[in-house]
């Protein structure tokens, strides 16, 4: 039975890692070749690169440099995605092994160092998820360093411009991960409280009553946090400080698919104007 449980969990966790890989391998709309804002951002970097080049360097091939910058941007995107997921999986792991909350920093009427998972589950999670993500991260960081070092004129400033552009587009994604981490913390408190209560050897009725109370409280808190999260998303999307260019509706696949650059830019400006009036 234990072996069956371990295999089932292993399959589930492996599937989750595959889902993350699918996310990593995506090319988001804001990083496609036809995206106007992406091309504008690359256009800001190219003149800076030319200024960094010496007289001995070969004359830059603009098209070639743009393609190389796109590849660098995709690697930066993958790295940010992985690093964000690592925060979530680190919270999962610490929750399972009883290290999510440091007792010296938080005074609670119950222990917060109780291990929730059996040993084989801890080992599996560490090996199959965090190790897997770390391998991907090292691979993409190595590729990024090679491509950045081989691109004449590419500086830390160039990389920061790309990171800022991608970071703004990933703001909602980061909010989602932060929301999931908050739920991990709340679930951890509930589980720790239940485990502490079980140390008192309650009778079956008391035990079931505790389960029902915790489940009811968890559902209430989860619903409340889901509502708060949605409100945060709405507030962020409608914020006057939130540029339209980085909102969820800024990237329209139909407009991005138009071949003619002038037509694409003209339609995008019309689309932007209508969207901003509706906000």
Could you read off the pLDDT of 27-56 as tens digits, one per residue? 998 999 888 899 999 999 988 887 776 555
168-203 burial by CB neighbour count: b if 16+ within 10 A, else e? ebbbeeeeebebbbebbeebbbebbbbbebeeeeee
Task: Take residue 99 and report the two structure tokens written for it.
Answer: 């290290």
pLDDT band at 129 (very low <50, low <70, confident <90, very high): confident
pLDDT digits (tens, 9 = 90+) for 186-210: 888 788 788 778 888 888 888 888 8
CA separation for the pair 40, 32 (Å, rounded): 12
Helix (H, G, I), strand (E, B) or coil at 262: helix
Is residue 80 within 8 A of residue 170, CB to CB? The reply is yes
pLDDT tens digit sequence for 239-252: 644 555 555 455 55
User: Do the Cβ atoms of 88 and 174 come closer than 8 Å?
Assistant: no
Query: Mean pLDDT in the chain?
Result: 76
Out of 126-130, 196-200, 232-236, 266-270, the most confident range is: 196-200
Cβ(193)–Cβ(200) under 8 Å? no
Q: Which residue has the higher pLDDT, 118 or 189?
A: 189
pLDDT the model gives residue 277 = 54
**Residue, of 137 and 234, whose pLDDT is higher:** 137
Interatomic CA distance for residues 120 and 228, integer angstroms:
36
Q: Which region among 92-96, 100-104, 153-157 has the lowest average model confidence (pLDDT)?
A: 100-104
Q: What is the pLDDT of residue 57?
A: 56
- Which residue in 275, 270, 197, 279 sits closest to 238, CA to CA? 279
The confidence band for 255, taking pLDDT boundaries of 50, 70 and 90, is low
């Amino acid at each position: 039975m234990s072996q069956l449980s371990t295999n089932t969990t292993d399959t589930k966790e492996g599937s989750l890692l595959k889902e993350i890989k699918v996310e990593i391998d995506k090319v988001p709309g804001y990083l496609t070749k036809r995206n106007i804002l992406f091309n504008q951002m690359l256009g800001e970097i190219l003149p800076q690169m030319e200024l960094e080049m010496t007289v001995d360097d070969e004359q830059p091939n603009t098209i070639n440099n743009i393609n190389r910058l796109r590849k660098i941007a995709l690697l930066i995107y993958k790295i940010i995605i992985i690093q964000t997921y690592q925060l979530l999986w680190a919270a999962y792991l610490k929750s399972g092994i009883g290290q999510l909350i440091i007792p010296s920093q938080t005074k609670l009427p119950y222990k917060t160092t109780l291990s929730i998972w059996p040993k084989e589950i801890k080992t599996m999670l560490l090996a199959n998820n965090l190790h897997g993500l770390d391998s991907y991260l090292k691979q993409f960081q190595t590729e990024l360093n090679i491509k950045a070092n081989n691109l004449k004129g590419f500086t830390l400033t160039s990389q920061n411009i790309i990171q800022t552009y991608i970071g703004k587009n990933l703001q909602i994604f980061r909010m989602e991960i932060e929301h999931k981490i908050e739920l991990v913390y709340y679930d951890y408190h509930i589980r720790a409280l239940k485990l502490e209560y079980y140390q008192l050897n309650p009778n079956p009725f008391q035990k079931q009553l505790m389960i029902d109370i915790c489940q009811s409280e968890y559902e209430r808190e989860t619903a409340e946090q889901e509502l708060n999260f949605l409100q945060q998303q709405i507030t962020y999307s409608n914020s006057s400080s939130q540029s339209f260019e980085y909102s969820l509706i800024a990237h329209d696949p139909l407009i991005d698919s138009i071949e003619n650059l002038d037509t694409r830019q003209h339609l995008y400006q019309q689309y932007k104007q209508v969207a901003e009036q509706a906000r």
